[in-house]
Amino acid sequence: MDGPSDGRTVGPRDPALVPIAQKVERAERLTRDDGLALFQSNDLLTLGRLADLANRRLNGDRVYFAANQHINPTNVCVLRNTCVFCSFARMPQEAGAYTRSLEEIFAEADAARDNPTREFHIVGGLHPKLRLAYYLDMFRGLKARHPGVHIKALTAVEIAHLARLERMSVRDVLIALRDAGVTSLPGGGAEVFSPAARATIADKKLSGEEWLAVHREAHRLGIPSNCTMLYGHVETMTDRVDHLLALRALQDETGGFLTYIPLAYHPDHNELGEVLGRTGTATSGFDDLKNIAVGRLVLDNIPHVKTHWPMVTPFISQVALTFGCDDLEGTVVFERVYHEAGAATPMWLGYDQVVSLIRGAGKQPAERDSLYQTVRTFEDWVPAVPGVRPRGPEGPTFQISHRLQAGARGRRLPVLSAVDASE
Ligand code: SF4
């Protein structure tokens, strides 16, 4: 692999990647040191080529997407002052705080009647007063109105919060969610498992071990889930590798993860971005592609890797399809969480736009449901007129009102010295 060998391939420019490339070509599992070398390397094209090889073994040229709609029932969150990387949450009386009634949620979900929709992706803040019954009624109501739409709902953090509020076990909350129609869990709330990084960016949140325990319990109950890593803040390269290894270990144990999604930290309108002096500077395309590629290489037992275009732009996501990624997220429709953090991407993509992005990368689009069952392929596809953005309920709750501009109260600034950022 060192230099051109057979006239068709070019070996790694970074010598540290030579033994790793050999392992990938032999389909061998990578070690912690290998993962670290991958993150420390700037030989991005080799990372991409190796990850593309690993992805093709699993998924060929197929790239999945979902006709999905994001729903965020509330942005009120009891951790609003301690998750300093979050731009979405509000205190109950803070400007821009909202909590939807069930009728408002059903009205918003009715956009699904005018758009191809297979999945509701439902996440929100940890509201101090919204009880489990509110969520169960929501899911039952959505299933009654849209029986063909899968419900992917509630992060591990929200589930643990509900268990505390109701004095129930996590297992019993999960059973209740499943019985009300939840098909799978999203992967949010994992952030990065490193206790030191977590102490800086989210010190009151569920620990990494607790996050993994909720997913383990879900998998035992037959509820598949997704997993994430938030990168580009104060985490070290070692933190990233250890996070991936923890996900890989749980997947070895349960096989319940469907997809890994690296999530790019956005520094606008949150306290961490201010302290880091990063306002207006999101992660680089280089790091976005590297995180896709390394994720694909280390997580050899998770079938899919997704790029979240609202965070990294549709164009980086399109390039990611040749860096080990086989899922382009979906239509999304109402993206709020990252737009609160300054994402300059569109809030939605039309169905045909998603298909065009995938076809434009020379890949074969496949619309999927939440469980990665293919519901449509596009061999004879002819682009239609781009869709019209569906409308939700009118009103101030649909305005993005950035909380730092609105005057945050009770802000707790992070202590950066808690983390050795020298790696
Ligand atoms: S990251 Fe989640 S738990 Fe933390 S403040 Fe934001 S909404 Fe709340």
State the Cα–Cα distance between residues 226 and 251, nearest whole angstrom.
Answer: 11
State the Cα–Cα distance between residues 214 and 186, nearest whole angstrom.
Answer: 12
Amino acid in position 1: M
- Greater confidence (281 vs 82) lies with 82
Closest of 423, 235, 302, 322 to residue 44, by C-alpha: 322
CATH of 30-379, one of 3.20.20.70, 3.40.190.10, 3.40.50.300, 3.40.50.720: 3.20.20.70
- Name the closest-CA residue to atom 5, ligand 1: 80
pLDDT at position 336 over 80: no
State the Cα–Cα distance between residues 335 and 345, nearest whole angstrom.
Answer: 10
Atom of ligand 1 at shortest range from CA of 88: 6
Atom of ligand 1 at shortest range from CA of 77: 8
- Give the pLDDT score at 341: 54
**Mean per-residue pLDDT over the chain, rounded:** 87
pLDDT tens string 258-272: 999 999 998 888 999
pLDDT at position 394 over 60: no
- Name the closest-CA residue to atom 4, ligand 1: 83
Compute, in angstroms, the gap from residue 77 CA to the centroid of ligand 1.
Answer: 6
pLDDT at position 1 over 60: no
Amino acid in position 161: H
Between 113-127, 288-302, 323-337, 350-364, the lowest mean confidence (pLDDT) is in 323-337
pLDDT at position 170 over 90: yes
80 Cβ below 6 A of ligand 1: yes
Angle between helices 44-59 and 285-298 (to 10 degrees): 50
State the Cα–Cα distance between residues 226 and 189, nearest whole angstrom.
Answer: 11
Per DSSP bridges, beta strands 68-71 and 119-122 are parallel
pLDDT at position 129 over 50: yes
Both tokens of residue 411?
């802000």
- Give the pLDDT score at 281: 79
- Give the pLDDT score at 344: 60
Confidence of residue 306 (pLDDT cuts 50, 70, 90): very high
Residues 32-61, mean pLDDT to the nearest whole number: 98
- Give the pLDDT score at 116: 80
The terminus-to-terminus CA distance of the chain in angstroms comes to 28
pLDDT at position 104 over 90: yes
Atom of ligand 1 at shortest range from CA of 188: 2
Compute, in angstroms, the gap from residue 387 CA to the centroid of ligand 1.
Answer: 32
pLDDT at position 416 over 70: no
Most confident of the ranges 289-293, 347-351, 391-395, 414-418: 289-293
CA–CA distances in Å: residue 192 to residues 230, 242, 253, 336: 6, 9, 20, 22
Atom of ligand 1 at shortest range from CA of 126: 8
Query: 0.85 exceeded by the pTM?
Result: yes
Between 290-294, 341-345, 397-401, the lowest mean confidence (pLDDT) is in 397-401
Hey, where are the domains in the chain? 30-379
pLDDT at position 407 over 60: no
Helix or strand (DSSP H, E) at 254: helix 237-254
User: Alpha carbon 383 to chain centroid distance?
Assistant: 28
Closest of 55, 37, 38 to residue 47, by C-alpha: 38
**Helix/strand/coil for 183:** strand
pLDDT at position 4 over 70: no
Residues 365-393, mean pLDDT to the nearest whole number: 75
State the Cα–Cα distance between residues 347 and 392, nearest whole angstrom.
Answer: 13
Confidence of residue 296 (pLDDT cuts 50, 70, 90): very high
State the Cα–Cα distance between residues 423 and 405, nearest whole angstrom.
Answer: 33
156 Cβ below 6 A of ligand 1: no
79 Cβ below 6 A of ligand 1: yes
Closest of 232, 254, 241 to residue 299, by C-alpha: 241
